[in-house]
Amino acid sequence: MDAELVRAASSGDEGAFAALIEGNLAGMRAVAVARLGWVDEAEDAVQDAVLTALNDLSRLREPDAAGAWLRSIVRNNCRMLLRSRRALPVADPETLLPVDVRWDPGKVVERAATRDWVRGAVAVLPDPVREVMVLRYFTDWSSYRQIAELCAIPEHTVRSRLRQGRRAFGQALQDVAASTLPDSNVMARATRHEAEALVQAGLRGDARQVLEDLFHPGALVTRAGYGTEGISGLLPMMTDTLSAGVGLRLLDTAASADTVVWDIEFLNPASDPQHCPPAMTWLSTMRQGRITQLRIAYRSEPLH
């Protein structure tokens, strides 16, 4: 399936490219969250990989390996970030390509101009966000420092605006994928239903049964990199959180094969606004419809 999508996308079929990304998005996010452990930078790494793939897809020699290729771009993004931790892009485009293949801004603009969904996603952004997106991805002014100097803004503002732009681009991809392959989100809708059921059960105080149905016996649960005792450790954590007056709200889900990602927002009470971090991500590995491994990562900034 991926090979067919790669061939079609390389010929300019935006629906095929969107469907390719949609089908591999959960796996890409899984790599990023596993490597970085917190969602802000993980999401940046994934969206940078998507935009790099848009530029370089026609050079992919083995279309059947598209999923592995996409995950390798994310992995390289994460590696660069962990090595440097400097105020640079999550992944400088040149570092993602073979030595003999360099970033060609002209080709990016030429290809992007033929895709209405790319042009449309960027065009509707607020002026300050659109400026940094165009500079970052469609010119050779690609580093945070360069963009900050040109726009006369701090580097942290560049990061914030790029994050807004990436999210808009990601939404445009999802919209195209949904309209191209209406059935491609069936699994995502199913996992959203499960996530909503768990959240509601937790709010009612009867999450145990839902957890036991959802998790495989002996499932491994890790939280912020530290192991727990599976459901026996997860249930008290949920109970303590909710008993403190903290609410939960499901924001987003993604699913691909046996990988499922849930984004959940904490709604802290007015009396204790710092009780929990703004949000958390559940990264699950499934087997026969039940979770065998869950990794929980906390987010330091709101998801919206």
pLDDT in tens, 31-49: 887 777 655 678 788 888 8
> Who wins on pLDDT, 114 or 242?
242
Q: What is the DSSP letter of 304?
A: -
- Identify the burial level of 56 via C-beta atoms within 10 angstroms of its C-beta, where 0-12 means exposed, 13-18 middle and 19 or more buried: buried
Pick among 3.40.50.920, 3.10.450.50, 3.20.20.30, 3.40.1830.10: CATH of 186-299: 3.10.450.50
pTM: 0.52
| Residue 195 banded pLDDT, cuts 50, 70, 90 | confident
Contact 276, 246 (CB under 8 A): yes
Residue 213 has phi, psi (to 5 degrees) of -75, -35
The per-residue pLDDT for 99 is 30
> Who wins on pLDDT, 75 or 33?
75
> Who wins on pLDDT, 273 or 139?
273
pLDDT in tens, 111-130: 443 455 566 667 778 888 88
Which of 15, 221, 253 lies closest to 118, judged by CA? Answer: 15
* Chain centroid to CA 37: 12
Q: What is the mean pLDDT of residues 236-249?
A: 87
- Determine the Cα–Cα distance for residues 253 and 181; give it in Å rounded to an integer: 18
Helix (H, G, I), strand (E, B) or coil at 266: strand
Domain boundaries, the chain: 2-180, 186-299
